[in-house]
Structure 1
Amino acid sequence: MSTFFMFCAILGGTILALQLGLTLLGIGGDLGGEGLDLPDLPDGDGADSTVGHDSGGFSDLAKRITFQGVVSFITFFGVGGLAAQGSGVSAPGSLLAAALVGSLATAVLAFAFAGVRKLQGSGSIHMDNAVGEVGRVYLRVPGGNGGVGKVIVPVQGRSEEVRAVTSGPELRPGEAVVVVHAIDDRTLEVVAQSAYVAKTASLAE
């Protein structure tokens, strides 16, 4: 049991330290702030979920779980378990103590990471400056405003991973896109670069 707790503490602690370092450096966008990226689940009629559609149930809950939260729990689950065993607590008691410590620490770190992200977002980066920039699709963007994906675009000299929607055809990972509108400080409207170039050329004729 001690080996298991030690493994959790070392693995989770290493990832958590790297994650915090990257967040402070502003690398990789909004680390730990988004839910786990799960594939779009069809509704009862087999259609893709749409923006603002609340599917509920397990899928909705899973999308609210952050990677930072999972790593935090694993880290302090291990730390709590080791501390309990070091105090002579039985194996079942150690598991309970580990779960309690992991849950409490996860809640505390969630507030800490939220503060870091707030400070990071309070800088001089404005998504309006991304309009006209060429980026790449990171996570599939459903067509016809049928859902939210993610793109990586340059904004004021740095690469940002942001949410994206499109009114055009579906955009696949790796596809080049052009930002046409900043919906808010977290979401951009994009179109395929090929379609944007074609439309621009037709208007110039």
Structure 2
Amino acid sequence: MSTFFLFCAIVGGTILALQLLLTLLGVGGDLGGEGLDLDLPDLPDGDTGEPTVGHDAGGFSDLAKRITFQGVVSFITFFGVGGLAAQGSGVSSVGSLVAAVVVGTLATAVLAFAFAGVRKLQGSGSLSMSNAVGSIGRVYLTVPGGNGGVGKVFVTVQGRSEEVRAVTPGPELRPGEAVVVVHAIDDRTLEVVSQSAYVAKTASLAD
């Protein structure tokens, strides 16, 4: 059990330290992220058997998508540290597991606030989302169609790659799809459309 705890602490700690360093350097935008795109299907809605579409919160699918890479790494790191500390104090194997889970959970919550503070400091200043209009980006989290919900896209703003909220009036945009920013709704949200649809519309207007 000690070997397992040690492995978690070393591997998780190494990744966490690297992640923090890259975040402070501003490399690759927001490495903490807000959620891993697990691309889970929407759950049935009540007795109708119809899938729910465009829900911004609620349900197992939404909860899963909010699991962040930074959170997982933080938990693994301090799960190992907590387990080692408990075993060093002579606690039983079961007690060590409980202590490891508790320490990992608490440390993950604390670090989530810390990373959020770092990202807020990075995002403050002269960064203006209006400067992203016309830029090409990539979908990170599915953007529901018909302004039915909020997704995420990676887009370059003032020379920096940023992960920002996005909505679209057109069809649903899937992860990896190229998009064009057509409007900055506010300092956190962009309106985007599929690059192929944008190019087609531009070509038709030019004829």
TM-score range, shorter chain: 0.7 to 0.9
Mean Cα deviation higher: 65-74 or 10-19: 65-74
Tell me, what secondary structure is at the counterpart of 1:5?
Answer: helix
Gaps of at least 5 residues in structure 1 are none
The match for 2:29 is 29
Q: In the TM superposition, what are the counterparts of 1:1-205 in structure 2 within 5 Å?
A: 1-39=1-39, 40-44=41-45, 45-52=49-56, 54-56=57-59, 58-205=60-207
1:133-192 CA deviation, whole Å, 9 max, x = no partner?
A: 122333443322233333222211122222322111233444332100112333211112
Q: Residue by residue, what CA displacement relative to the aligned partner does 1:96-125 show, whole Å, maximum 9, x if unpaired? A: 222222222222212211211111111322
Q: Which runs of no fewer than 5 residues in structure 2 stay unpaired?
A: none
The alpha-carbon distance between structure 1 residues 80 and 12, as it changes in their structure 2 partners (threshold 3 A), is same
Distance in 2, matches of 1:60 and 1:137, equals 17
Q: After TM superposition, give the deviation of residue 204 of structure 1 in Å.
A: 4.0
TM-score by length of 2: 0.85
The SS at the match of 2:72 is helix
Secondary structure of 1:27 counterpart:
coil
TM-score, normalization by structure 1: 0.85
Distance 1:125 1:87, change over 3 A: same
Structure 2: which amino acid aligns with 1:186? Answer: R
Question: How much is the aligned-residue C-alpha RMSD, in angstroms?
Answer: 2.3
Cα deviation 1:32-74 (Å, max 9, x = unaligned):
241333324143243442154x433x33433443322221111
The runs of 4+ residues in structure 1 deviating greater than 6 Å are: none
Identity %: 82
CA distance in 2, matches of 1:65, 1:140: 15
SS at match of 2:67: coil
Contact residue 28 and residue 161 of structure 1 kept, 8 A = no
AA partner of residue 73 (structure 2): V
* Paired residue secondary structure (1:142): coil
